[in-house]
Homo-oligomer: A and B are copies of this chain.
Amino acid sequence: MSEDALDAALRLVRAQTALVRRFDARLGGLHGVSLADFTLLLRLAQAPGARMRRVDLAEALGLTASGVTRGLAPLERIGLVTREPDARDARVAYAALTRTGRRRLTEMLATARETAAEIFAAPDWSPADLARLTSLLTRLGGTGLKGA
C-alpha cells in the first residue's frame, strides 16, 4: 500500500535529521567541522590524487555546483583544501586536499567511525541488519563511500 511507502519515506527523512545532528555535534566539537564538510573532504580523499573537479564533486555529493563553491570556501580558508588550475582547461578549478587536510581528515575519520559505530551498536544492530540497511538504501540511489 502506498501509505506504507509514504511512511517509510517520512521515517527516512526523520532518521536522517537525527543522524546528522549527532555527527555534527561530534565532529563539530572535536574538529570544528560539520558532517557536510567531512563528507566533502572524504570524497576528495577517495579521488585519485586527492583532487577533483568541482563539478564532479557536486555530482558525487548530491549538491549543486554552487553548493560546492560555498562549502569549499571555508575549507580553503583554513587550509585543508587548495584550489588547483587545470593545465588543459582554464575553466576548471580542481579542489585538492592539502597535507594538513589529509592529516586532519584521518582524525575526523576516526571520530566519524566511532560515532557511526555507536549509532549502529549491538545489541540493537547486528552486522546483518547493517548490511540489509545499506543494501536497501543503495537502491534508493544513494552513493555511499564504497562506490556506486
Contacts and interface: CB of A to CB of B under 8 A. Distances in A.
A132 B142 contact: no
* A-side interface mostly: helix
Query: Which of under 10, 10 to 19, 20 to 34, or 35 or more describes the interface residues of A?
Result: 35 or more
Interface stretch (A13-21, A86-94, A97-105): A13-21
Interface in A87-134: 112-117, 119-120, 124-125, 127, 129-134
Number of copies: 2
A12 interface: yes
Contact of A16 (B16, B138, B139): B16
Contact of A19 (B9, B112, B125): B9
A3 B3 CA distance: 34
A32 interface: no
B4 A134 contact: yes
